Amino acid sequence: MSTLSRGSLVIALLLAALVLSMPSCRNAEKPVTDETVTVHDTVSDELERLNLQISNSPADFRAYLARAIYYAKNSMENEALADVNKAISLDEANPEAYGGLSDVYMYLGKMQRSLDALKKAKEMAPGAGIYDIKMARLYLTMSDYKQTFNALREGLSKSPDLAEAFFIGGLANEEMGDTIKAIDNYQMAVAKDPDYYDALKQLGIIMAERNNKLAIDYLRNAARVRPENPEPLYVLGLYYQDHDEPDKALSVYEEILLIDSNYIFAHYNKGYVLMVYKDDYEGAAEAFSRAVELDPTYAEAWYNRGYAYELMGKREEAARDYGTVLKMHVNDEKAIAGLNRLDAMAR
């Protein structure tokens, strides 16, 4: 089996929706790798927690801000604005309320209103660097790097120990293609706050891309900070997979499934490792089956299960799975090639 080409990780963190792209390390010509991580949805649990927080502390404006941001992230504009207005009514003189209003507007894509709210917060607390840092984050979402760094400098002149400032600087440098400066910034963020999850995760991702073993420590630390979040472990599993350590990769994928048994990409990659590295086609088919149970539109999982069946000599099952892929993607070259192989075997 030949090796698939490596790609690069694509990072998008600014608006709390993390999408990571990372190729599998050793891929066959026929198996298809997965390159996407999604954030698993725990919407009902999160909203229930926020509702309880408000119920327990109805006079706490921060509780309403937290729920407003949740609503904004989930495109519930009316609910978000109602909560943030309630927060401001509870403490009109607190700049935090306007900082929260800015966050809500940012998540709703209303950048000018977000900027206006931050200006109000800065007027109320001119010595607090946090609002300059929030402004830097806002400018970064608009790819205005000059204003981003200006705001960061102003914020750090007031609050030199804000880890978030260095993290945003890292994101800006990374977007601009200066990975060395990005690493320096992320490391400064971690130096200011050893439990800064996003900085640890970004360092892990970058080090993994650079084949640097420090990726392991950074990703493990990120997983330690947020043990309920499998994303750093998924990147770690891919790192092991990409460096010909399939047993360690499998161990990490099993670790993920203990955290979230429905984490579809752990099932998928487990199947991939079992098929490509371990020649365990039956185990691979079981893992791919779980993936398609969780997402019946997951064409790559259908194809790879078909290929596992083909390697097991189960031609009917393989043909059925290849056919399922073609129903989703009419001209899928790998599925067509798979059916052609099966036809040749039958002659």
Domain assignment of residue 258, yes or no = yes
Whether 12 has a pLDDT exceeding 60, the answer reads no
Number of domains in the chain: 1
Phi/psi for 235 (5° steps) reads: -65, -40
Domain assignment of residue 172, yes or no = no
Q: What is the pLDDT of residue 45?
A: 84
Q: What is the pLDDT of residue 247?
A: 98
pLDDT in tens, 24-82: 333 333 455 444 433 334 457 889 999 999 999 999 999 999 999 999 999 999 999 99
Number of helical (H) and strand (E) elements in the chain, helices listed first: 18, 0
**Residue pair 243/26 in contact by the 8 Å Cβ criterion:** no
Average pLDDT value for the chain: 88
Measured at the alpha carbon of residue 213, what is the angle toward residues 38 and 11, in degrees to the nearest 5? Answer: 30
* Count of other CB atoms within 10 angstroms of residue 210: 11
Residues 6+ apart with CB under 8 A from 49: none
Residue 23 confidence class, pLDDT cut points 50, 70, 90: very low
Whether 188 has a pLDDT exceeding 80, the answer reads yes
pTM for the model stands at 0.80
d(CA 107, CA 223) in angstroms, rounded, equals 26
Q: What is the pLDDT of residue 7?
A: 30
Per cent of the chain over pLDDT 90 is 84
Domain that holds residue 298: 1-40+200-347
**How many Cα neighbours within 13 Å face the side chain of 345?**
14
Burial of 94 by CB count in 10 Å (0-12 exposed, 13-18 middle, 19+ buried)?
middle
**Residue pair 19/30 in contact by the 8 Å Cβ criterion:** no
Q: What is the pLDDT of residue 36?
A: 41
Q: What is the pLDDT of residue 175?
A: 97
Least Cα distance to 233 among 243, 244, 222 occurs for 222
Domain assignment of residue 140, yes or no = no
Whether 90 has a pLDDT exceeding 60, the answer reads yes
Burial of 175 by CB count in 10 Å (0-12 exposed, 13-18 middle, 19+ buried)?
middle
Whether 19 has a pLDDT exceeding 50, the answer reads no
Q: What is the pLDDT of residue 346?
A: 80
Domain assignment of residue 85, yes or no = no
Q: Which of 2-6, 235-239, 320-324 has the lowest mean pLDDT?
A: 2-6
Hunting for tokens 């790879």 — which residue is that? Answer: 304
d(CA 335, CA 326) in angstroms, rounded, equals 7
Q: Which of 71-85, 166-180, 193-207, 256-270 has the lowest mean pLDDT?
A: 71-85
Question: Residues 143-161: what's their mean pLDDT?
Answer: 96
Give the residue, 307 or 31, on which the prediction is more confident. Answer: 307
Residues present in the chain in total: 347
**Amino acid at site 163:** A
d(CA 175, CA 171) in angstroms, rounded, equals 6
Dihedral angle sign, alpha carbons of residues 321, 273, 199, 9: negative
Q: What is the pLDDT of residue 32?
A: 53
Element containing residue 157 per DSSP (H, E): helix 145-158
pLDDT in tens, 246-301: 999 999 999 999 999 999 999 999 999 999 999 999 999 999 999 999 999 999 99
Residues 6+ apart with CB under 8 A from 344: none
Q: What is the pLDDT of residue 241?
A: 96
**Residue pair 113/103 in contact by the 8 Å Cβ criterion:** no
Q: Which CATH number covers residue 18?
A: 1.25.40.10
Phi/psi for 57 (5° steps) reads: -135, 70
**Residue pair 25/269 in contact by the 8 Å Cβ criterion:** no
Domain assignment of residue 322, yes or no = yes
Domain assignment of residue 215, yes or no = yes
Domain assignment of residue 245, yes or no = yes
pLDDT in tens, 317-336: 999 999 999 999 999 999 99
